[in-house]
Amino acid sequence: MNRDLSLLIGILVGLLGLLLLWVFYSTLAMEPGHRLGTLALEHLPESGVSNPVTAVLLNYRAYDTLLELGVLLTALLGIWSLGPPRPGFQRAGPALCTMVSIVVPLAILTGGYLLWVGGHAPGGAFQAGALLGAAGVVTRLAGNANAGLPSEAWQRWLIVLGAGIFTLVGLLLAVTGFGFLTYPPGQAKWLILLIETAATIAIGTTLAAAYVGGRPQSASAESGS
């Protein structure tokens, strides 16, 4: 019985492989249509930004970016479900603490710059959020058990901020007749900036909290430990 089942599975897998090869060959044989890059550049003035990468991430395929924020949120909820984090590292020496006191403000400032410049140059919410998360990682390595993050209640609000604002903007646009995440040309720039600002905060908080590696403890629990 197992032998027959293995043979059947092998035949089905082989047929699936042939089907995929046929789809691939048929796609290559088709006449090329409009290139996506060309279409993206043609509609760039309507996107609200002049950086084509930001236009793709926050306008043309905003659904995908919203789902990416959802993936980060789900990953952190999975980490928090494992229980409290391990104890923080020992307090660092004066040399590392001095370096952290310089690097962290610079990382936050650079993150803000990347957020603002993302509309017309390389940058954006994910790059800015990664820098904020790195600032939290460095703070954790220097001995701060919470990686410089606020209390659990505030962390919960911050990690849902990106996906929450993103979804809220989309729903408001849908209610007003523009369609979900279909920005009005005159307001696209500021709506994208609002979404990216919320996403930056959420990404930075999520990455730093993920590095801590567990559900944040309350102030009373930390003082008791």
Consecutive H or E run containing 168: helix 152-175
CA distance 201 to 165: 11
Give the number of C-alpha atoms closer than 13 A to the C-alpha of residue 110, restricted to the C-beta side: 14
pLDDT band at 136 (very low <50, low <70, confident <90, very high): very high
- What does the pLDDT read at residue 3? 74
Residue 223 pLDDT greater than 70, yes or no: no
**Burial (0-12, 13-18, 19+ Cβ within 10 Å), 80:** buried
Taking a C-beta distance cutoff of 8 angstroms, is the pair 193, 118 a contact?
Answer: no
Q: Could you read off the pLDDT of 15-57 as tens digits, one per residue? A: 999 999 988 888 777 766 667 777 788 888 888 888 888 988 8
Nearest to 192 by CA among 27, 61, 77: 61
Q: pLDDT for 191-214, tens place per residue?
A: 999 999 999 999 999 999 999 988
| Spatial distance between the Cα atoms of 43 and 100, rounded to a whole number of angstroms | 44
Q: How many CA atoms lie within 13 A of 176 on its CB side?
A: 11
pLDDT at position 206 is 96
Confidence of residue 138 (pLDDT cuts 50, 70, 90): very high
Report how far residue 164's alpha carbon sits from residue 140's, in angstroms, rounded to the nearest whole number.
27
What distance in Å separates the CA atoms of residue 200 and residue 61, rounded to the nearest whole number?
Answer: 18
Residue spans of alpha helices (H) in 43-151:
52-55, 62-80, 94-117, 125-141
* Res. 220: pLDDT tops 70: no
Task: Evaluate if pTM is beyond 0.85.
Answer: no
Residues in the chain: 225
